[in-house]
Structure 1
């Protein structure tokens, strides 16, 4: 049994092409950024309606191996990604009534440890017609 565990597993579609550094810019510190969309939702009992929600996840793929593997990944590809959830703080400026104030903004990213390209699923749409 592990005392601590930080594992995130996501399955979804790329929202844009992989942001990969140029071939001559790949070093040990290089990384690729992926933007993965996942969908979930809730059923509204009062209206008998499904309320979908799309979440966007920023995936950091560290190292030259991931840079090579993700090169050529395009928007719409279906992926499964495993990684660690990490937070980071960014300095931002907030404007209130014309005055600028410094502010901290907390964001979360997933640092990939495994990426698998999956076969694109066939989407079945229920038209509601019986028969």
Structure 2
């Protein structure tokens, strides 16, 4: 048994093309960025309808291996990503009505440890109105 574990797994679609350095600019400390959309929701029993919620997750893909792997990934690809959740942030200054205020801003980011392309599902749920 591990004393601590920090692992998340997402399965979803790329929101936009992967952001990765070109092959001649990849270095040991290079990283690529993926934006992955996942959908969940709740069933509203009172109205007898499904209320979906889409979340976008920023995935950091560290190192030359991941940069090369994700460089050609395009919007709409179906992926499974495992990684470590990290909380990043710090103080910043915002101006409201001409007055400066120090605030703390944090962002949750996933650092990928495994990425796998998946076959697109045969049937996707379409929540749009249909005339047929």
TM over 0.5: yes
Quick one: distance in 1 between partners of 2:55 and 2:125? 21
CA distance 1:63–1:41, change in 2 (3 Å): same
Check if 1:80 corresponds to 2:80: yes
CA distance 1:126–1:110, change in 2 (3 Å): closer
Query: 1:73-118, CA deviations, whole angstroms, 9 ceiling, x for partnerless residues?
Result: 0000000000100010144332322323232210011100000000
Aligned to 1:89: 89
Quick one: distance in 2 between partners of 1:58 and 1:125? 24
Q: Give the gaps of 5 or more residues in structure 1.
A: none
CA distance 1:117–1:124, change in 2 (3 Å): closer
TM-score (norm 1): 0.90
Structure 1 position 125, deviation (Å): 4.7
Quick one: distance in 2 between partners of 1:125 and 1:54? 13
6-15 or 98-107, which moves further after superposition?
A: 98-107
Q: Give the gaps of 5 or more residues in structure 2.
A: 128-132
Aligned residues: 127
RMSD: 1.7
